[in-house]
Amino acid sequence: MDTRRLQLLLALSRLGSMRAVAETYGLTTSTVSQQIAALAKETGAQLIEPEGRRVRLTPAGRRLADHAVTILAAIDSARLDLDPDAEPAGVVRVGGFATGIRVSLLPTVAELAETHPGVELIISEYEPLEAFALLNDDRLDLALTYDYNLAPASPGPLLETVPLWSITWGLGVPHTFPDGPADFASYADYTWIVNSRNTADEDAVRTLAALAGFAPRIAHEIDSLDLVEELITAGYGVGLLPLGRPTSAGVKVLPLRDPQPVLTAYAVTRRGRAVWPPLRAILDRICPPPGAPVPPAEWPRPEAAR
């Protein structure tokens, strides 16, 4: 089986159009089409089908593209093993939550571009459940996700996770409230603010509330922590916020005890894919050394990161 044709099929599965594949590899669209037709003849399976003015992979095409990742990764690994000076190259699709991208990925991109110019990143923002689904569908190569110790995620058997860092969270309240650890039960009558696109912090709030003997009244669903702070300042409720993150003047974050909610960030890949050299180059830069404890981190404000 011609590995160059496998590369083109894999690129089509990731880029979505013959034209994009042609531009990436410096070919004509006609050449890409001919190569994939030859691969279909070689395998005896229909690999693509029309979808409007474009094409998409058939189920057989998607399965072969999935195999192509493993095959090409093994070839790349062998090439690098035999030739240590060979450079990893390829398009790596990364998706994750905004702070995961900001804290883990962006600090590495300049050095990665300098040391491995053949590795190209495509970065998208997704919440964990969205990212897991895209990984399972082979529409991402690397996901940066999170969960809470009080609401652990279940990525599924096809995925592998590596913890990156952790942050303890507290209770965001108006700045006029007393300092000191929050008594969660005393907030039973308050309105609660949770995330709109992921249930992890809502699950954590419900667990903490259940332990304190009440069911929280959840009314507002907000993704932006800055907007959560503005709602708290305006008197619309309370919600979980990371400890140590600088807050606006109208908000403070009180520590919680027994239990403390802890958010952990993860690098998630499809099982067996981490050996692919372009992906490995990224993982080596963002993951702690094997066996090392998960380091604490700070949750930056977007304006502080710019």
Note the pLDDT tens digit of each residue in 6-22: 989 988 988 889 999 99
Confidence of residue 190 (pLDDT cuts 50, 70, 90): very high
Tell me which of 300 and 133 has the higher pLDDT: 133
pLDDT for 140 beyond 60: yes
Q: How far apart are CA 1 and CA 40, in angstroms?
A: 10
Q: Which residue has the higher pLDDT, 81 or 2?
A: 2
pLDDT at residue 156 in the model: 83
Q: Are 90 and 276 in contact (CB under 8 A)?
A: yes
Q: What is the mean pLDDT of residues 85-113?
A: 90
Please give the pLDDT value at position 305. 39
Residue 2, pLDDT above cutoff 90: no
pLDDT beyond 60 at 306: no
Could you tell me the pLDDT band of residue 138, with boundaries at 50, 70 and 90? confident
Q: What is the pLDDT of residues 256-298, one digit of tens each?
A: 988 999 999 999 998 888 888 889 999 999 998 877 788 888 7
For the cut 60, the answer to whether the pLDDT of residue 304 exceeds it is: no
Percent of the chain at pLDDT exceeding 90 = 68
Q: Could you give the domains of the chain?
A: 1-85 (1.10.10.10), 166-262 (3.40.190.10)
Contact (CB, 8 A) for 141 and 279: yes
| Predicted confidence (pLDDT) per residue in 13-64, tens digit | 888 899 999 998 899 999 999 999 999 999 999 999 988 888 999 999 999 9
pLDDT on residue 109: 94
Alpha-carbon separation of residue 133 from 56, 130, 141, 276 (angstroms): 19, 5, 12, 20
pLDDT in tens, 207-247: 999 999 999 999 999 989 999 999 999 999 999 999 988 89
In whole angstroms, what is the distance from residue 93 CA to residue 78 CA?
Answer: 23
Give the per-residue pLDDT at 74: 79
- Quote the pLDDT of residue 84: 59
Q: Helix (H, G, I), strand (E, B), or coil: what is residue 16?
A: coil
Contacts of 2 (CB under 8 A, 6+ apart): 35, 38, 39, 42
More confident of the two residues 166 and 275: 166
Token pair listed for 90: 């390829």
What residues contact 199, with CB distance under 8 A and at least 6 apart?
129, 151
Whole-angstrom distance, CA of residue 192 vs CA of residue 66? 43
Instruction: Classify residue 166 as exposed, middle or buried by CB count within 10 Å of its CB (0-12, 13-18, 19+).
Output: middle
**Going by C-beta distance under 8 Å and a sequence separation of 6 or more, which residues neighbour residue 44?**
none
Other beta carbons within 10 angstroms of residue 149's beta carbon come to: 16
Q: What's the chain's average pLDDT?
A: 90
